[in-house]
């Protein structure tokens, strides 16, 4: 039985018959504004900020406006089934929670609250290597819920293998390897505040609970946090790799592997040639290369080149149901949502994440129906017109 996500609308309008106003907006394009009211400037700008002038983040949003949906009528779209399966993971709608590190800076329950909200709706969570909660604790919070693991690739192979082994044992089924952040970009909003949460020992739960990483230290992280932090940062930043490095991941990961950060069609082809199972067309929400192409801009050519060989996921700029529909029509199998759910977490923890996710799913469900589609497989570029 397909989920009727659109019914969230009825709950809001009808609860107690007089309706119940949500605690914060149902419009994810407005959550940055309201999150600024509930967060201190440092964490707020860490989440909202982007690389350089912010041009890439703006381009990500502008790219969605260049595509318009052309609705179809009399298509019998009353009953809709938005469910899909991506890389062996069934999901009630093609939406995953993007890996976002160091969530403790916006809410004390951090990644565990996010994982509970996602699992409650059946959506997969992608856990970041820069998590403030351990791999095992987030797995417990997920319960039976689907979970994928995102890797920032340590340059110590034994530490890397140890982390991957833990993720597999804890039930994370897909590995997402982020390629675009081998070193941190120039981010003026954080630089102007001299704020990097990791240097305060935050977002370190994965290495600090790792026995092999701990064996590399003279003193335990609890006894000498700054040295442990610096050791970890030097392991995960500053090393760019090339395509010959990928077999290492295959050796240490049994399930599907996705390369995240692909923006060029040749890189997408190489990922497929290298035997990868998927790619995430993503520019990290505009947080890495300033002045870069919008992620949605490159999606159609990448999907056309490799969509029949590997699974193409998409992120960067998704805010509304229409955005999800457009990305799927342009060739994505599923999308990852980033900042909006983090703003939900900042507003009210698990319940806040749930509200953001339910709002997106309801908006997507209603937009699908009103545009004349019953299943995500029906979406093709013919659903859109470029203006």
Per CB under 6 A, the list member of 31, 118, 130, 279 interacting with ligand FNR is 130
Nearest residue (CB) to ligand FNR, 283 versus 369: 283
C-beta separation of 4 from 374 below 8 A: no
**What does residue 323 show for φ and ψ, rounded to 5 degrees?**
-60, -45
Per CB under 6 A, the list member of 132, 150, 320, 371 interacting with ligand FNR is 150
Nearest residue (CB) to ligand FNR, 89 versus 128: 128
Nearest residue (CB) to ligand FNR, 80 versus 97: 97
Per CB under 6 A, the list member of 56, 125, 133, 282 interacting with ligand FNR is 282
> Nearest distance from residue 99's CB to ligand FNR, in Å?
4
Q: How far is CA 315 from CA 24, 119, 256, 309, in A?
A: 24, 20, 19, 19
- The count of chain residues that interact with ligand FNR, using the rule CB under 6 A, is 23
Rounded CA gap, 54 and 294, in Å?
Answer: 12
**Contact region with ligand FNR (CB under 6 A), list: 26-34, 280-288, 352-360, 362-370:** 280-288
Which residues, 50 to 109, sit near ligand FNR by CB under 6 A? 60, 98-101
Nearest residue (CB) to ligand FNR, 315 versus 363: 315
Nearest residue (CB) to ligand FNR, 133 versus 282: 282
Q: How far is CA 321 from CA 6, 70, 204, 328, 371, in A?
A: 11, 15, 34, 11, 11
> Nearest distance from residue 337's CB to ligand FNR, in Å?
6
Per-residue b/e over 151-183, b at no fewer than 16 CB within 10 Å?
bbbbebeebbbbbbebbbebbbbbbbbbbbbbe
Which residues, in sequence order, are bridge partners of residue 314? 281, 335
> Nearest distance from residue 295's CB to ligand FNR, in Å?
8
Which residues, 191 to 250, sit near ligand FNR by CB under 6 A? none
> Nearest distance from residue 129's CB to ligand FNR, in Å?
6
Residue 284 a catalytic site member: yes
Rounded CA gap, 138 and 172, in Å?
Answer: 10
C-beta separation of 260 from 176 below 8 A: yes
The alpha helices in the chain, defined as continuous H runs, are 8-14, 31-38, 41-48, 55-65, 110-121, 135-142, 157-169, 188-191, 205-208, 211-215, 225-236, 246-252, 265-273, 295-306, 321-329, 339-371
Of 200, 264, 284, 355, which is the active-site residue? 284
Q: How many other CB atoms are found less than 10 A from the CB of residue 29?
A: 12
Nearest residue (CB) to ligand FNR, 149 versus 378: 149
> Nearest distance from residue 57's CB to ligand FNR, in Å?
7
Which residues, 284 to 343, sit near ligand FNR by CB under 6 A? 284-285, 287, 315-318, 337-339
Rounded CA gap, 332 and 296, in Å?
Answer: 10
Q: How many other CB atoms are found less than 10 A from the CB of residue 350?
A: 20
Which residues, 172 to 201, sit near ligand FNR by CB under 6 A? 178
Contact between 356 and ligand FNR per CB under 6 A: no
Active site residues: 284
Q: State the residues that interact with ligand FNR by CB under 6 A.
A: 46-47, 60, 98-101, 128, 130, 150, 178, 260, 282, 284-285, 287, 315-318, 337-339
């Amino acid at each position: 039985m397909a989920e009727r996500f659109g019914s969230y609308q009825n709950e809001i309008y009808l609860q107690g018959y007089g309706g119940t106003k949500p605690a914060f907006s149902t419009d994810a394009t407005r959550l940055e504004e309201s999150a600024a009211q509930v967060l201190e400037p440092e964490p707020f700008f860490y989440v909202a900020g982007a690389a350089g002038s912010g041009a890439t983040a703006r381009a990500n949003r502008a790219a969605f406006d260049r595509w318009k949906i052309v609705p179809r009528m009399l298509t019998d779209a009353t009953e809709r089934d938005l469910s899909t399966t991506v890389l062996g993971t069934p999901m009630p709608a093609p939406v995953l929670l993007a890996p976002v590190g160091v969530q403790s800076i916006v809410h004390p329950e951090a990644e565990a609250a996010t994982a509970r909200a996602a699992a409650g709706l059946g959506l997969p969570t992608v856990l970041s290597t820069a998590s403030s909660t351990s791999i095992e604790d987030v797995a417990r919070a997920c319960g039976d819920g689907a979970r994928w693991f995102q890797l920032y690739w340590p340059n110590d192979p034994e530490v890397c293998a140890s982390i991957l082994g833990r993720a597999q044992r804890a039930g994370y089924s897909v590995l997402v390897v982020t390629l675009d952040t081998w070193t941190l970009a120039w981010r003026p909003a954080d630089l102007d505040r001299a704020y990097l949460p990791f240097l305060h020992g935050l977002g370190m739960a994965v290495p600090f609970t790792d026995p092999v990483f701990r064996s590399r230290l003279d003193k335990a992280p609890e006894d000498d946090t700054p040295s442990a932090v610096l050791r970890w940062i030097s392991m995960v930043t500053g090393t760019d790799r090339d395509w010959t490095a990928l077999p290492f991941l295959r050796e240490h990961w049994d399930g599907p592997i996705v390369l995240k950060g692909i923006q060029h069609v040749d890189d997408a082809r190489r990922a497929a040639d290298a035997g990868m199972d998927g790619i995430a067309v993503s520019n990290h929400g505009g947080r890495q290369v300033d002045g870069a192409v919008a992620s949605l801009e490159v999606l159609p050519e990448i999907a056309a080149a490799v969509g029949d060989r590997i699974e193409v996921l998409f992120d960067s700029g998704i805010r509304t149901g229409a955005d999800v529909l457009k990305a799927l029509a342009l060739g994505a199998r599923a999308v990852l949502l980033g900042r909006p759910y983090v703003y939900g977490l900042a507003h009210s923890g698990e319940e806040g994440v749930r509200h953001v996710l339910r709002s997106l799913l309801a908006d997507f469900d209603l937009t699908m129906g009103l545009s004349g589609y019953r299943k995500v497989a029906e979406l093709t570029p013919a659903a859109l017109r470029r203006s």
